[in-house]
Amino acid sequence: MKILKYKIQLSLALTTSALVFLNSCKNDPLSPGIEFMPDMYRSVAYKPYEENPNFKDLLGARPPVQGTVSQGEFPNSAFNINEAFYPFPDTNEGYEEAGNKLKNPLPATPENLKKGADLYVKFCSPCHGDAGDGNGSIVANGKFPSPGKYWDRVLANGLNDGKMFHVITYGKNLMGSHASQLTKEERWLVIHHIDELVKKAAPTLIVNSTEASAKSSKKK
């Protein structure tokens, strides 16, 4: 009985050391050793930027099929900003042109307003404040200068939806571009919310109409 136990122990020890031996004897120090199911470790698919011999140009990352529309774009919008590029340059003229030509393609449904408010709180409130008065948390604690009130900007710059889109896309002075954080669709959703904030604070200001960009009121 005892001998049998020793025999088992001995064969276990031999098997283990044989496995260790087999696994450790590799020339390549980076080799993981024996791979029992290599497909599980190594994807058979090409990595996005890997060379791909199946194509003449060897590019693994293929350009989108012609006519493809990415999420957040508006192929049928009257103001088609669905070009591969955004057509208005980051200049004062581009700012004015965007203000004249761009219109919010999304309807101000309760659902869209809710989405816009949600995005606003996440991306804009820290500076602009929940109410849009320029007193967000990092302004209140003295870490960042106040961007001012949106409704003052409507008076000063004729701020309207198109100009807002332009500023969110490129940024302006201390404000960085938010193009990588918000899709075009999300930018328009946020703009609906800003319009709501302006309406609440300064009900007599007209902000979303492109031709009547900023009509100041006597009251304000």
Nearer to ligand HEC among residue 40 and residue 174 (C-beta): 174
Complex with ligand HEC: residue 79 or 155, whichever CB lies closer: 155
> Is 80:74 a contact under the CB 8 Å cutoff?
yes
Distance in Å, CB of 214 to ligand HEC, minimum: 11
CB atoms within 10 A of CB 169: 19
Residues that bind ligand HEC (CB under 6 A): 123-124, 126-128, 144, 147, 153, 157, 159, 163-164, 167-168, 172-175, 178, 182, 190
Q: How far is the CB of 75 from ligand HEC (least distance, A)?
A: 24
Place of tokens 């199911």: 37
Q: What's the rounded Cα separation, in Å, for the pair 205 and 154? A: 8
Least separation in angstroms between CB 195 and ligand HEC: 10
Cβ nearer to ligand HEC, comparing 11 with 122? 122
Q: Which of 88, 93, 121, 94 is nearest to 189 (CA)?
A: 121
Mutual angle of helices 150-157 and 184-201, in 10-degree steps:
100
Q: Which is nearer to ligand HEC, 60 or 134 (CB)?
A: 134
State the nearest-atom distance from the C-beta of 161 to ligand HEC, in Å: 9
Shortest distance in whole angstroms from residue 95 CB to ligand HEC: 7
By C-beta, is 18 or 156 nearer to ligand HEC? Answer: 156
Rounded distance between C-alpha atoms, residue 52 and residue 21, angstroms: 37
Round to whole Å and give the CA distance between 44 and 47.
Answer: 9
Phi, psi of 175 (to 5 degrees): -85, 125
Our CB check for ligand HEC shows the closer of 73 and 152 to be: 152
Q: CB of residue 158 vs ligand HEC: minimum separation in angstroms?
A: 9
**Spatial contact of 99 and 191, defined as CB atoms under 8 Å apart:** no
The residue behind tokens 């000063």 is: 156
